[in-house]
Amino acid sequence: MVLIGVERGDTTVQADRLLDRLLSYRVFPDQEGRMNLNLRQAGGELLLVSQFTLVADTSKGNRPGFSTAAGPETGRKLFDHVLARARAELGGCECGEFGAHMQVSLINDGPVTFQLRVAPDA
């Protein structure tokens, strides 16, 4: 499961780099139990869920701020872009409903969670 948050200024170039990293990131165990396989090598599947709260500013106060989050139109455009590319590259990909109130369950198999970021456009 990948939760995707889109920030102001994010572009399709960054979205492409993020998907490339997602597909090549070696976080699945090999025969020796080491994180050495990427999603394809492990025979994994991908579930993408839009989650604008990931980009909340929590640095001060008692309420998160969302001024760094992209607007809904941009967020949807970039989420749909990643989803279309993922489906093309993997032959399929599941997703949540953009902007909807969803109940998503996750069973985290182990103490491993990663936050992937890509650098702003050069």
pLDDT in tens, the chain (122 residues): 999 999 999 999 999 999 999 999 999 999 999 999 999 999 999 999 999 999 999 999 999 999 999 999 999 999 999 999 999 999 989 998 898 898 988 888 778 889 898 887 65
**Of 12, 28, 31, 53, catalytic:** 53
Strands, DSSP E only, in 1-122? 2-4, 28-29, 35-37, 47-50, 94-95
For residue 103, indicate whether it is catalytic: no
Name the residue type at position 87.
R
Residue 121: per-residue pLDDT: 67
CA angle 60, 64, 66 (to 5 degrees): 115
**Of 11, 12, 31, 51, catalytic:** 51
* C-alpha span between 16 and 11 (Å, rounded): 9
Domain residue spans of the chain: 2-95
For residue 51, indicate whether it is catalytic: yes
CA distances from 9 to 13, 15, 63, 77, 81 (A): 11, 11, 23, 13, 15
For residue 52, indicate whether it is catalytic: yes
Residue 120: per-residue pLDDT: 78
Instruction: Tell me, yes or no, if the pTM score tops 0.95.
Output: no
Give the CATH superfamily of 2-95.
D-tyrosyl-tRNA(Tyr) deacylase (3.50.80.10)
